[in-house]
Amino acid sequence: MNILHTSFECYPVAKVGGLADVVGALPKYQNNLNLNTSIIMPFYDNQFVKNSKQITIYKSTIQLGEISYPYTIQELKSPDLGFTAYLVYSNGLLDRPNVYNYEDDTERCIGFQLAVLDWITTLDKAPDIIHCHDHHTGLIPFLMTYTTPYSRLRNIPTVLTIHNAQYQGQLSYDKLHYLPDFDKEKIGLLDWDNCINPLASGIKCAWRVTTVSPNYMVELQKKANGLERLLQHENNKCIGILNGIDTKTWDPETDPMVIKNYGLSNVALGKLENKKWICKHFNLDSNKPLFSFIGRLVGEKGADILPDIIEQSFNDTTDINILILGSGNPETEERLKSLQEKFSGMYNVFIGYDEKLSHIIYAGTDYLIMPSRVEPCGLNQMYALRYGTIPIVRRTGGLKDTVIDIGDNGFGICHNNTSVWDVCHSIQRGIKLYTNQEKYKELQKNNMKIDHSWDRSVSKYLTIYESLIQKHDQ
């Protein structure tokens, strides 16, 4: 079975967040099941792409309204990937240093999707399944089914995975002419709330819709940034499948990015070495428990309340350290930076994106805080567990599916609200737990043994693919 994933991110080619981790790991695990899985994504102007070996396998042009964009399909083969990656190179449109946040993101998303389909129509053997990820590739099911140039692809089953329904990629109807000729009676399949909504269109037109945890699927029916009714209506073709993690990339025993590798037999010592490095680097005290946050500094992650959490925590006690790694909302960044001097020696922040530092923090921190308002799955808590760290999470989305409170015989600390009070209360619980080193160390080991590998979920996707292919053959 040939599967093609279409995505705007894939680790290590280009990463902004968890979408990249998923698209960089799931295909590997699918190939272990003897599927033939590859991915297609934009060619970015970044170090990984520039240093990779590629061959040009196809050249053509797409038409976006009045403008023609020549493009090539680059085949990237790297033994580290575990699957073939195809990159759509389109000079001036896609080859930018960053993945998102350009004024013409709409054009870039549509241009990418047109090039992907344009290329697939030329293949002798088209994929058996096209698996789209998030709104950036959400128009593909519609384009394949209802537009004239891609009608050959109409019978290929499509799957759409929603990684985050907050982002839907809406565009106004004055950009409708970017799409190739289609049956205008079907225009409603593009629409949600009087604009073209790629995520909504994907939900309507894909053969199956998945999201990244069972609980988020339930939540989406009530809270989906305006798509609740649609998701209720399409309930029968929707399913929540819990993400996994790539346990080879994320293995404290072999991770080349951490300061000291460790396994079950030397977890306490190994973590301490990493913690000492962090404390030296960020002027913190390794004798006190370390609470860290890693992530995008946006409202969904509860990042806006971090400054108040820091103020309140140090009001309660000075016997802890807090470290933040992230970037995002400029106001939050400023507030976090402004606290550096006030709480010097016990608090620090690194504003930016740093993959290596994130690995060291998962390894060296004692607790990882995730006060998310919205968390479709969340990978950080699973990385934390794998590295013997105790997650402190709000019970929401995938966090609810993956972390059980120590009070319920579990292994993490959970609270109900994204509020300063709730998080500070959880920090207090963490401080208390830390004083009982015997229990704390038992938890560290226990957490490392929890299996969150993709092996647990990969077969669920296979079941979906098989059922769709059967449907197609009937």
- Picking from 164, 31, 8, the residue whose alpha carbon sits closest to that of residue 101 is 8
Q: Rule CB under 6 A: choose which of 7, 249, 321, 358 binds ligand ADP.
A: 358
Question: Judged by CB under 6 A, which stretch of 57-65, 67-75, 340-348, 352-360 contacts ligand ADP?
Answer: 352-360
Q: If contact means CB under 5 to 8 A according to the sort of partner, which of ligand GLC, ligand ADP, none does residue 212 touch? A: ligand GLC
Name which of ligand GLC, ligand ADP, none residue 107 binds, using a CB cut-off of 5 to 8 Å depending on partner kind: none
Q: Which residue is nearest to ligand ADP (CB)?
A: 18
Per CB under 6 A, 164 contacts ligand GLC: yes
Q: Given the DSSP bridges, would you call strands 367-370 and 390-394 parallel, antiparallel or unpaired?
A: parallel
Two structure tokens written together for 212:
């990244």
Closest CA to 261 of 360, 356, 393: 360
Using CB under 6 A, pick the residue from 160, 199, 294, 306 that binds ligand ADP: 294
**Interactions with ligand GLC, residue window 229-258 (CB under 6 A):** 243
Token representation of residue 14: 């280009």
The total number of residues written for the chain in this structure: 474
Q: Is 354 in the site for ligand ADP (CB under 6 A)?
A: yes
Interatomic CA distance for residues 105 and 330, integer angstroms: 21
For ligand ADP (CB under 6 A), the number of binding residues is 18
Q: Which is nearer to ligand ADP, 247 or 327 (CB)?
A: 327
Measured CA distances, 264 to 268, 287, 436, 445, 447 (Å): 9, 22, 19, 6, 10
Residue among 393 and 443 whose Cβ is closer to ligand GLC: 393
Q: Which letter does DSSP use for residue 389 in this model?
A: -
The verdict on 380 binding ligand ADP (CB under 6 A) reads yes
Segment holding 369, helix H or strand E: strand 367-370
**CB neighbour list of residue 431: distance below 8 Å, 6 or more residues apart:** 289, 317, 319, 320
Report d(CA 67, CA 389) in Å as an integer: 52
Residue 18 binds to ligand ADP (criterion: CB under 6 A): yes
Q: Which residues contact 292 (CB under 8 A, 6 or more apart)?
A: 322, 323, 324, 325, 361, 365, 367, 368, 369
Among 21, 107, 333, 401, binds ligand ADP (CB under 6 A): 21
- Spell out, one character per residue from 359 to 398, where the chain touches ligand GLC: x when CB under 6 A holds, - when not: ----------------xxxxx-------------------
For the bound state, the minimum distance from the C-beta of residue 98 to ligand GLC, rounded and expressed in Å, comes to 16
Tokens representing 55 are 């061959």
Q: Minimum Å distance from CB 278 to ligand GLC? A: 24
Is there binding between residue 17 and ligand GLC (CB under 6 A)? yes
Which residue type, as a one-letter code, is found at position 333?
E
- The binding site for ligand ADP (CB under 6 A) comprises 17-19, 21, 294-296, 325-327, 353-355, 358, 377-380
- The binding site for ligand GLC (CB under 6 A) comprises 17-19, 22, 163-164, 212, 243, 375-379
